A and B are shown apart, each in its own frame.
Chain A
């Protein structure tokens, strides 16, 4: 595989404004009860401060996608050149097996179409040289698109105390054992001085 596209979620920058989720919904013309990208507030035991911290999550385009494995019709395909997991709506029969199987809740059920659907990483935009809608819309640059193969090498090269630590499975995120989700996180940092109620 030449590349493995991945989201780099910077929870230290995210302010939970939902702009990414709205941009995704708007660009992809999603039904009102379907959201491919969600904002998840972190529990207080993971971020013990009055200000909340968030993970902005969509499909993680796993290296070993369980949706592709369990789909009985083969509606999911992983692109060889960039590792994006694409869902073919024409092939979907709406069995919801992928929705049950994915621990990240990426595939959603479209009640109108009676089919599953999920984040496509805006592959049409990527193919045209544009950034995905969520990344383009984020006002604080809390989501970035990275190539995981390159990122892993860079992390190894820049393993200094000052460099931001990128995590694969941060607190609050499903472990995704055996799936290898293509997402990395920068953890939120607590303020140096805290006023606790």
Chain B
């Protein structure tokens, strides 16, 4: 069973968590502009760009031959990995020009960036919707990655706004954390009724302490905090980021591969 954490997985964990946080930040910047809580200067764009850029740099090292990474865009016709690379490059390009040209106040440019970010999240999720991962075949990674983006985006967005914005974030966050918590608890239960590989993935996730850490720290604890404080404290991003990293390690190490079960399916 492929439950060992490889160095390759760690780079993928870093890539997915950082870039999803950047996409989430872009989405919540649009919300902040729409809600009239100020543009927040270019500081959020700098953070967004740095997160996406560091993810892109780290992602290169999951390749066996990083020097050939330019060829990874050659199969846009059918490969979600090529599309992910293209949209990440586009996301980096748009955020860079927005940052350099000082376009952080514009709703149009922010919306463009958020849309590219959402498109990128979708392609990134689809990379893992493959026949080899039976449990993931029906789009679970897309949903998981969108939730990851929302939770990290909310928490990082709390850094760039006034108290009223953080209160609004707490209200949005309570819905996101609650639905993520319920969905995260339900996912293995749904998988339990699946085929051998799918139900074994559910068991592997349920047996792993990473799952409970991810659920508790990433959804349960933030939910308690926003309910009790009625605002979203800036320090919450630390807990949520750690939780998302553990959740991603769980995803990469405990999701069962169909080929491990040949003869027993």
Q: Does B101 contact A (CB under 8 A)?
A: no
Alpha-carbon distance A163/B92, docked complex (angstroms): 61
A94 touching B259 by the CB < 8 A rule? no
A97 touching B79 by the CB < 8 A rule? yes
A73-B75, A94-B65 known; A105 vs B259 contact (CB < 8 Å): yes
Alpha-carbon distance A179/B80, docked complex (angstroms): 17
Alpha-carbon distance A100/B2, docked complex (angstroms): 11
Nearest CB on A from B179, distance (A): 28
A101-B130, A103-B134, A114-B65 known; A72 vs B72 contact (CB < 8 Å): yes
The residue in chain B whose Cβ has the minimal distance to the Cβ of A70 is B79
**Other-chain contact of B263, A41, A70, A93 (Cβ < 8 Å):** A41
Chain A neighbourhood of B62, CB < 8 A: 95-96
Nearest CB on B from A149, distance (A): 24
B75 touching A174 by the CB < 8 A rule? no
Q: Does B82 contact A (CB under 8 A)?
A: yes
Nearest CB on A from B117, distance (A): 21
Alpha-carbon distance A97/B8, docked complex (angstroms): 12
Chain B neighbourhood of A57, CB < 8 A: 262
Alpha-carbon distance A193/B73, docked complex (angstroms): 59
B71 touching A73 by the CB < 8 A rule? yes
Nearest CB on B from A111, distance (A): 9
Contacts between the two chains (Cβ within 8 Å), count: 116
A72 touching B130 by the CB < 8 A rule? no
Chain A neighbourhood of B263, CB < 8 A: 40-43, 46, 55, 172
Interface residues of A, CB < 8 Å — how many? 42
Q: Does A14 contact B (CB under 8 A)?
A: no
Alpha-carbon distance A40/B260, docked complex (angstroms): 10
Q: Does A102 contact B (CB under 8 A)?
A: yes
Which A63-113 residues have a C-beta within 8 angstroms of B? 66, 68-74, 91-97, 99-105, 109, 113
Alpha-carbon distance A93/B8, docked complex (angstroms): 14
Nearest CB on B from A41, distance (A): 6
Interface residues of B, CB < 8 Å — how many? 34
B64 touching A71 by the CB < 8 A rule? no
B64 touching A95 by the CB < 8 A rule? yes
Chain B neighbourhood of A70, CB < 8 A: 78-81, 127, 130
Nearest CB on A from B251, distance (A): 12
Q: Does A173 contact B (CB under 8 A)?
A: yes
Alpha-carbon distance A91/B79, docked complex (angstroms): 15
Chain A neighbourhood of B259, CB < 8 A: 102-105, 174
Nearest CB on A from B138, distance (A): 12
**Other-chain contact of B65, A38, A115, A171, A177 (Cβ < 8 Å):** A115
A72-B74, A72-B79 known; A95 vs B262 contact (CB < 8 Å): no
Chain B neighbourhood of A101, CB < 8 A: 130-132
Chain A neighbourhood of B71, CB < 8 A: 72-73, 91, 93
A93-B68, A95-B62, A103-B131 known; A73 vs B265 contact (CB < 8 Å): no
Nearest CB on A from B74, distance (A): 5
**Other-chain contact of B131, A66, A92, A95 (Cβ < 8 Å):** A66
The chain B residues found within 8 Å of chain A, CB to CB, are 8, 62-65, 68-69, 71-75, 78-82, 85, 127-128, 130-134, 257-265
Besides A66-B130, A100-B132, A104-B262, 9 more A-B contacts (Cβ < 8 Å) are: A43-B263, A46-B264, A66-B132, A69-B78, A72-B71, A72-B72, A93-B65, A93-B71, A100-B130
Please, could you name 30 A-B residue pairs with CB atoms under 8 Å apart, sorted by A? A38-B262, A55-B262, A55-B263, A66-B130, A66-B131, A70-B81, A72-B71, A72-B74, A73-B68, A93-B63, A93-B68, A93-B71, A94-B64, A95-B62, A95-B72, A95-B81, A96-B62, A97-B127, A99-B132, A101-B130, A103-B257, A105-B257, A105-B260, A105-B262, A109-B64, A113-B64, A114-B65, A115-B65, A174-B265, A177-B131
